[in-house]
Amino acid sequence: MTYSRQAPWWYNEESKAVLDRGYLLNGETIHDAIERITASVCHYLGETVGTAELKEAFKDAIYKGWLSLSSPIWTNAGTSRGLPISCQGCYIGDSISDITTKLGEVMMHTKLGAGTSAYFGNLRGRGASITNNGKSSGAVSFMKLFDTVMTVVTQGARRGSFAAYLDIDHPDIEEFLRIKDIGSDLQNIFYAVCVPDYWMVEMIEGDAEKRRIWARVLESRVQKGLPYIWFSDTNNIHKPEIYQYLGCNITHSNLCSEIALPDADKETFICCLCSLNLALYDEWKDSNLPELAVMFLDGILSEYIAKTDGKKFLKYAANFAKRHRAIGIGVLGWHSYLQSKMIPFGSLRANALTTEIFRSIQEKTTEESRRLAER
């Protein structure tokens, strides 16, 4: 296909090398990829919203480097080979049936190229009583299944990635903190502790056992860079008002420990993401870029739902996408913008700009979200 546009300014040797390593289809040019992605988004937005004018607006934002797309959007949007969202987190109940179901879910998402996580806090500790006078083998023992999946189920040329989350007051916490130690059976997963407020308060006030465990957490972070630390109450206290109203509980985060979304027995949270380039903020600050990003990700969500709905081991992620339609709009290039203006990072001017920029993004994206909800 012939295109009138020049290649994007950011499409240099380095970015070309990255995109050519699997982000573009065989024989596809950068123009083809942007056409594929924007056409797919507009298709899933529907004829009323996904107009030719909107498609050109999406293209402009991408060509100018204002809108930065996530890896799965580049790779899979508008194709039949995978999903345009590649980050999931599931909730595991305390039964063999649920553990098996969620293991299958993680396997399927891993096969499709996703990074995954799961919350194990509901599982009984090692030695706890189970049906027919048996004893539980504990939460960490079941993590071995997920550890094996990361070595067996591949994403093409690379293996999968998974993070296990466990409460710091769980009976198996000390066994959990030995993951990735020399000699440990679990070497292929990442892990995180979920820390409630009451536990931190008691530790700070002098509880000897809690201080011993906290010292072990800190020692492990120095030695292995793990575990992540996830403050459970902080995330639930500050969750969006609608989640508080609906009683949605946030049990854990994703593989990257970067988001706070609820999950449940039949809902696996997903991360639908893109970024606005603050290095070019002066170019787009008076434009409708934030609103465009909301519409763009809404189209990506619709494509994800269409590809996962009714599919075995993908239905819980589809449930979440349909009910929540959660999106994440981040930023990049903030340090570059400040450096270009010779503004010190910690200065009053930097703080004022931070408030100004993020207030504007929040107001514009929230209003566009409301508009889409009313459509």
Residue 341 counted as domain residue: yes
**Phi-psi region at 195: left, alpha or beta (left = phi > 0; alpha = psi -120 to 50):** beta
Q: Verify that 316 and 230 share a domain, yes or no.
A: no
CATH number of the domain residue 226 falls in: 3.20.70.20
Residue 97 counted as domain residue: yes
Residue 238 counted as domain residue: yes
Q: Give the model's pLDDT for residue 263.
A: 96
Q: Please state the pTM of the whole predicted model.
A: 0.92
Q: Give the model's pLDDT for residue 123.
A: 96
Q: Verify that 78 and 91 share a domain, yes or no.
A: no
Phi, psi of 160 (to 5 degrees): -80, 175
For 22-75, the DSSP string reads TTSPTT--HHHHHHHHHHHHHHHH-TTTS-HHHHHHHHHHHHTTSEEE-HHHHH
Query: Is residue 271 classed as helix, strand or coil in its secondary structure?
Result: coil
Q: Verify that 343 and 298 share a domain, yes or no.
A: yes
- The length of the chain in residues reads 375
Final residue of a structural domain among 265, 282, 298:
265
Q: Verify that 117 and 241 share a domain, yes or no.
A: yes
d(CA 90, CA 107): 12
27 CB contacts (<8 Å, ≥6 apart)?
none
Marked catalytic residue, from 76, 235, 254, 277: 254
Q: Give the model's pLDDT for residue 135.
A: 86
Marked catalytic residue, from 202, 256, 288, 291: 256
For 301-346, the DSSP string reads HHHHHHHHTT-TTTHHHHHHHHHH---EEEEE-HHHHHHHTT--TT
Q: Verify that 209 and 71 share a domain, yes or no.
A: no
Q: Give the model's pLDDT for residue 1.
A: 55
118 CB contacts (<8 Å, ≥6 apart)?
89, 90, 91, 92, 102, 106, 146, 162, 163, 164, 165, 252
Domain hosting residue 166, numbered range:
87-265
Contact 294, 368 (CB under 8 A): yes
For 65-93, the DSSP string reads TSEEE-HHHHHHTTSSSS-S--EEEEE--
Marked catalytic residue, from 258, 283, 356, 363: 258
Compute, in degrees rounded to 10, the torsion defined by CA atoms 7, 8, 13, 15.
-130
Q: Give the model's pLDDT for residue 86.
A: 92
Q: Verify that 233 and 141 share a domain, yes or no.
A: yes
- Residues forming beta bridges with residue 116, ordered by sequence position: 88, 162
For 122-173, the DSSP string reads TSPPTT-EEGGGEE---HHHHHHHHHHHHHHSEETTEE-EEEEEEETTSTTH
Final residue of a structural domain among 265, 285, 300:
265
Final residue of a structural domain among 229, 245, 265:
265
Buried b (16+ CB within 10 A) or exposed e, 9-30: eebeeeeeeebeeebbeeeeeb
Which segments in the chain show pLDDT lower than 50?
A: none
Residue 368 counted as domain residue: yes
Phi, psi of 328 (to 5 degrees): -130, 120
Q: Verify that 139 and 158 share a domain, yes or no.
A: yes
d(CA 173, CA 184): 15
For the chain, what is the domain count? 2
Q: Is there a catalytic annotation at residue 258?
A: yes
Taking only the tens place, the pLDDT of each residue in 165-205 is: 999 999 999 999 999 999 999 999 999 999 999 999 999 99
